[in-house]
Structure 1
Amino acid sequence: MSLEFFSLETIQELAHQYGYWAVFLGILLENAGIPLPGETITLVGGFLAGSGELNYPWVLVVAIAGAVLGDNCGYWIGRYAGWPFLLRLGGFFRISESQLDQAKTQFSQNAAKAVFLGRFVALLRIFAGPLAGIARMPYFQFLLCNTAGAAIWATVMVTLAFLVGHLIPLDELVAWVAKFAALALLLVVAWILVPIWMESRRHKPDNL
């Protein structure tokens, strides 16, 4: 999910104008919890590197740096201010505190995997840092998983656009990557919600 006025054309124009800063700040803000299209920004950076406008190693460096720093900001925001906000948000959607506690426990049990692999999942890339802070994931464990995940994600996205950008249109590449991320999101949602639903069914008295 991203802000609608950040179309692919707008992102390309910003990347043309501001180069590495556009890539760095876009990814940093998304990973800090702001719903910007960081994935698209990374692909555009790799595409421009493939066309010779930007330098591939520098695009990779700023993408990794933006992802790591952004997620660190999100982590500390979640740790100190995230749970009260989540409770208010849950109340708005009529989700009880016990249900949120259960979801937090589910996340805590798999926090390392969520932070490491979450970058390839739509929305989770935005919220993994704040959620890790809310779940009180040990910071050094978070930092290790965050850095490793950022390095792999950025390398895959930048290299993919760098190599494939000349073979297929950039908008098609962005669409394919977005579909993969959305599918991954559906799998993650099912992985979280199905155990909660089964647990609630197990404690529900039988209607005889």
Structure 2
Amino acid sequence: MGEIALSLVADYGVPIVFLVTFLSCLAVPVPSSLLMMAAGGFAAAGDLSLIAVAVAAFTGAVLGDNTGYWIARRLGQRASDWIDQNDRRRALKTKAGDILDRRGGPSVFLTCWLFAPLGPTMNYVCGLTKFSWGRFVAWGMAGEVVWVSIYVGLGFSFADNITALASLLGNASGAVTALVVVVLLGLWLLRAARHRAAPA
């Protein structure tokens, strides 16, 4: 995968950085982080402009986030109608919307970079629940600044060890995301068990 990312950046330069970050935010399985690091490495070598790489990655990510949001918001009506047909599902949707209203901004921000594997799903959920677009954009842009800065910056700083670094960061990101999912699932199960054990 590392060789493919390097060859893509070498052959197509900045436009491929834009395209891959855009697609990654729509849940298309592309090596966006590795490609950003590769582009940062090429910038360190003087083959690409660091500013152009960063702007392309940021623009692609923000447009990808917003495309996912609006796809879910505009075309997700059927899913929303299906959810609303059942009282329990409707209650869960309402609860998810309430949680997003209270903590949605920081959640969007963190799923852009710290829990990046959850980012595309968050985009769709925010659109489906009609989370405030203004807040979504503001928090999402802040998160994408961090994401792009980390990966392009690491590629620029550690150009000679991009593949090893990408593997390490990919494993760390996956582990953090898995840990969060396990903790949340455990809390949900504990809460459900207490609810069932409570006297009627």
CA distance, structure 2, for counterparts of residue 107 and residue 81 of structure 1: 22
1:200 matches 2:196: no
SS at match of 1:123: helix
CA distance, structure 2, for counterparts of residue 85 and residue 191 of structure 1: 28
Compute the RMSD of aligned alpha carbons: 2.6
Q: How does 1:119-158 map to 2 (within 5 A)?
A: 119-120=112-113, 121-158=115-152
Change in CA separation of 1:123 and 1:175 when aligned onto 2, cut-off 3 Å: same
Give aligned-pair identity as a percent.
27
1:15 matches 2:33: no
Equivalent position to 1:171, from 163, 188, 197: 163
Contact 1:122 1:184 survives alignment (8 Å): no
Q: How does 1:2-41 map to 2 (within 5 A)?
A: 7-41=1-35
Structure 2: gaps (5+ residues): 83-87
1:49 matches 2:51: no
SS at match of 1:171: helix
1:186 matches 2:189: no
Equivalent position to 1:114, from 83, 107, 113: 107
Change in CA separation of 1:37 and 1:100 when aligned onto 2, cut-off 3 Å: farther
- What TM-score comes out, normalization by structure 2 length? 0.84
Contact 2:93 2:129 survives alignment (8 Å): no
Change in CA separation of 1:149 and 1:187 when aligned onto 2, cut-off 3 Å: same
Whichever residue aligns with residue 12 of structure 2, its letter is: Y
Change in CA separation of 1:110 and 1:192 when aligned onto 2, cut-off 3 Å: farther
Q: How does 1:57-68 map to 2 (within 5 A)?
A: 57-68=51-62
Whichever residue aligns with residue 167 of structure 2, its letter is: A
- The structural deviation recorded for 1:187 is 3.0
Change in CA separation of 1:75 and 1:50 when aligned onto 2, cut-off 3 Å: same
Q: Which has the larger displacement, 58-67 or 41-50?
A: 41-50
CA distance, structure 1, for counterparts of residue 73 and residue 67 of structure 2: 10
CA distance, structure 1, for counterparts of residue 187 and residue 20 of structure 2: 35
Q: Which has the larger displacement, 76-85 or 48-57?
A: 76-85
The CA deviation string for residues 32-62 of structure 1, in whole angstroms up to 9 with x for no partner, is 2322221122111111111221111111111
Contact 2:9 2:39 survives alignment (8 Å): yes
- What TM-score comes out, normalization by structure 1 length? 0.81
Change in CA separation of 1:102 and 1:47 when aligned onto 2, cut-off 3 Å: farther
